[in-house]
Structure 1
Amino acid sequence: MALAKLDGCELSASADFHVHLRDSAMMETVVPTIRRGGVNTVYVMPNLVPPVTTVEAATDYRDRLQALEPRVTFLMSLYLHSSVTPDTIREAKKAGVPGVKSYPAGVTTNSDSGVVDYAAFYPVFSAMQDEDMILNLHGEVPDVDVHRAEQSFLPVLVELHERFPRLRIVLEHCTSAAAIETVASLGPSVVATITAHHLSIVVDDWNGEDRGGGDPFCFCKPVAKTPADRDALLRAAASGNPKFFLGTDSAPHPAQAKKGDKPAAGVFTQPYATQLVLDAFEMACETGALKEGDITREALEGFLSKFGRAFYRAPDARNERIVLKRGDERIVDVIRKDGSDVEVVPFRRGRSTWTLTWT
């Protein structure tokens, strides 16, 4: 059995440095699932409607999340917008908001107010560098083929790093070997997150032209790429390199919105965040993309928890632990909240996964 050596393994609680928790009924549905995935710290995306562009909105959002699940630490972010100024950055730093998320205009969910010209924000980036805040980049170029959108963005990442070498930058949800190579080549202030689902899926899973259409619940932005790209992500995640750590980009949408000719972009992984990473590593060992010896306890714990916590300077104040066991747990078909008509379908629904318990 692949990864038998990790059966019964005890690890630090996972930290997920890229989550979408939405608002209202959807927020109330998904926030209670965070700890089911072995996670007690999350970095929350600001692309609500309207987007979170002020410190007051960010702290209010944090309070509402904390009221739903007080056992999770919620790290907040601002949405990079024309209304965000260097003064906003200084205010955010004082309020404990660690970062700002940049969305290229129009590339993904609720990104219509995103960035058109990065140079317009150089004063903001300079203030972020001075205040030691984090810039989170959705690394795609709009208006190009989706398969090339991430790779086309990489020169922008390199230029931003050259202009602001002390600015801590996260290239979010890498999907390509080129992105992994670029991040690895840059200085220690540039890191990247990798999602659980991109460790598993490839282009055919969401596109599936040879099968008359793929699974809409696998459709996300950035889109999954080739098997070679996926294998590069797997190697980076298992490498023990602190430049790469977990950011699931878990993105819940109502089940109906994932169906039809134009499914909403986003994969919901929150209730099984840790378990799905183990599933991906196990499948990689079975296919030969990784060897079982490549996946050590130390590298796994680094990817799931320690590397991201160190970069974000967000230690686990609770010092909690989780235990992973290879069992016969089944991923549920749907997540719903009693009394609500919101239904969300999790990634790999109906399939078996690892069992996780808190110590």
Structure 2
Amino acid sequence: MTTSLTIPSACDFHLHLRQGDMMRMVTPKVAEGGVSLAYIMPNLQPPIKTTDEALAYKKELQALAPNVTFLMTLYLSPELTVEEVRKASKAGIRGVKSYPRGVTTNSESGIESYEVYYPVFKAMEEEGLVLNLHGEIPSDHNNNVCVMNAEEKFLPELEKLHKAFPNLKIVLEHATSQAAVEMVKRLGDTVACSITVHHLQLIVDDWAGQAHHFCKPVAKYPNDRNALREVVASGHPRFFLGTDSAPHPSHAKESAHAHAGVFTTPLVLPYLAKIFEEIGCLDKLENFACHFGKQFYQVTQKDGFETATVTLVKEDNVVVPQQYAIATDPSTQGDLGAVVPFLASKNIGWKIAKNFC
């Protein structure tokens, strides 16, 4: 039985770090979770739509977590031009994130049609930028579309985009369904998929009535979770870690309209060790969390990324904290509230004993 595991530090290819006090609390915890490379989502308020905005945000994050390499993205919107794509490429921006309008946090500026962006996608294809897709369509009850099938209904659009731009690298973000896994496997080597910590653990019963497990896209049926687990256990190189860790104050989660998002940042590798051990593929953890995403994005030392290691150990009683105070100043912690992490107060049985940070 494995009781310790030393692997390279992880690469998280889908992460939300927010702004202000939340950003200042969350960002240092990236390294605490064993992650040394983070691909940052642009859905701030207002969204990050230009190269200059992305670089300014990166500077803030780097000051808070100097041991982490941050890769930045832009928000797909009408303001994104071919010229801005080429400027972004020269500045080291790695991707563009697409949000369907209104389906998740801060997606009010999201898109309603992809065809109008074809010139932008062509420029991205030429420049080597990645298109990151939130793979859902908005609910439409007249046409039997809701949160449980919104991802599956989106998949024809993914296939259409791939056929139109076969050399454009596309990542279907935070997949939740068997249909999504099968689609990505069927498409070519330029199409990949990020998988979260929580979607490897949860099904619909776990978030229905449980606000801190509610995310978008929502966790689906047992067969869908099984498909995610089977593909990571198989070691498929186009499926890799993207936590979609998304912190919200507990009062925003525990409300009549719970905000979507699960917070996993402080314990990414211990969570994964627990899950991979349970499904019998602990030997596949390193490639999934450390190598496959980096290979797809072609991350090198030119990106400022340096190899580091993390040692995980198995212990009988490793309890997840109940909450993390948002304010770093103790005198104001009560005013700003706290974030409840994934599996709060639960024993996950693994911890980081030696970290690169």
CA apart distance, 1:261: 2.1
The equivalent of 1:149 in structure 2 is 150
State the one-letter code of the partner of 2:167: R
For structure 1, which segment, 315-324 or 19-28, has the greater mean C-alpha deviation from structure 2 after superposition?
A: 315-324
State the one-letter code of the partner of 2:15: V
The equivalent of 2:311 in structure 1 is 323
CA apart distance, 1:76: 0.4
1:302 equivalent to 2:282? Answer no
Contact kept, 8 Å, 2:276 with 2:282, in 1: the verdict is no
CA distance in 1, matches of 2:270, 2:96: 28
CA apart distance, 1:239: 1.5
CA distance in 2, matches of 1:170, 1:156: 13
CA distance in 2, matches of 1:96, 1:203: 39
The equivalent of 1:338 in structure 2 is 328
Residue 18 of structure 1 is aligned with which of 14, 20, 28?
14
State the one-letter code of the partner of 1:358: N
The equivalent of 1:139 in structure 2 is 135
CA apart distance, 1:296: 5.0
Alignment of 1:249-328 (within 5 A): 249-283=244-278, 285=279, 292=280, 295-297=281-283, 299-315=284-300, 317-327=305-315, 328=317
Q: After superposition, what is the alpha-carbon deviation per residue over 1:208-232, rounded to whole angstroms, capped at 9, x for unaligned? A: xxxxxx2100000000000110011
Residue 55 of structure 1 is aligned with which of 51, 56, 74?
51
Identity of aligned residues (%): 47
CA apart distance, 1:158: 0.2
Q: After superposition, what is the alpha-carbon deviation per residue over 1:212-266, rounded to whole angstroms, capped at 9, x for unaligned? A: xx21000000000001100110111222111100000000001100012210000
Q: TM-score, normalised by structure 2?
A: 0.93
Q: Which runs of 5+ in 2 are unaligned?
A: 140-144
CA apart distance, 1:277: 1.6
The equivalent of 1:172 in structure 2 is 173
Q: Which runs of 5+ in 1 are unaligned?
A: 208-213, 286-291
1:111 equivalent to 2:107? Answer yes
State the one-letter code of the partner of 1:253: H
Contact kept, 8 Å, 2:32 with 2:355, in 1: the verdict is no
Residue 95 of structure 1 is aligned with which of 91, 95, 113?
91
2:6 aligned counterpart, secondary structure:
strand
CA distance in 2, matches of 1:322, 1:41: 13
Distance 1:315-1:348 versus aligned 2 partners, 3 A rule:
farther
State the one-letter code of the partner of 1:142: P
For structure 1, which segment, 74-83 or 342-351, has the greater mean C-alpha deviation from structure 2 after superposition?
A: 342-351
Runs of 4+ in structure 1 over 3 Å off: none
For structure 1, which segment, 13-22 or 329-338, has the greater mean C-alpha deviation from structure 2 after superposition?
A: 329-338
State the one-letter code of the partner of 1:93: S
2:27 aligned counterpart, secondary structure:
helix
Contact kept, 8 Å, 2:273 with 2:282, in 1: the verdict is no
State the one-letter code of the partner of 2:297: Y
2:13 aligned counterpart, secondary structure:
strand
Q: After superposition, what is the alpha-carbon deviation per residue over 1:174-226, rounded to whole angstroms, capped at 9, x for unaligned? A: 0000000000000000000000000001001111xxxxxx2100000000000
For structure 1, which segment, 234-243 or 175-184, has the greater mean C-alpha deviation from structure 2 after superposition?
A: 234-243
State the one-letter code of the partner of 1:330: V
The equivalent of 1:82 in structure 2 is 78
For structure 1, which segment, 112-121 or 336-345, has the greater mean C-alpha deviation from structure 2 after superposition?
A: 336-345
State the one-letter code of the partner of 1:262: H
1:83 aligned counterpart, secondary structure:
coil
1:330 aligned counterpart, secondary structure:
coil
Alignment of 1:199-278 (within 5 A): 199-207=200-208, 214-278=209-273
Q: After superposition, what is the alpha-carbon deviation per residue over 1:307-345, rounded to whole angstroms, capped at 9, x for unaligned? A: 001111224732100111111221101112432424111
CA distance in 2, matches of 1:227, 1:277: 19
The equivalent of 1:33 in structure 2 is 29
The equivalent of 2:160 in structure 1 is 159
1:17 aligned counterpart, secondary structure:
strand
The equivalent of 1:43 in structure 2 is 39
The equivalent of 1:289 in structure 2 is none
CA distance in 2, matches of 1:269, 1:99: 23
CA distance in 2, matches of 1:117, 1:206: 30
Q: TM-score, normalised by structure 1?
A: 0.92
Matched residue count: 339
The equivalent of 1:288 in structure 2 is none
CA distance in 2, matches of 1:73, 1:36: 14
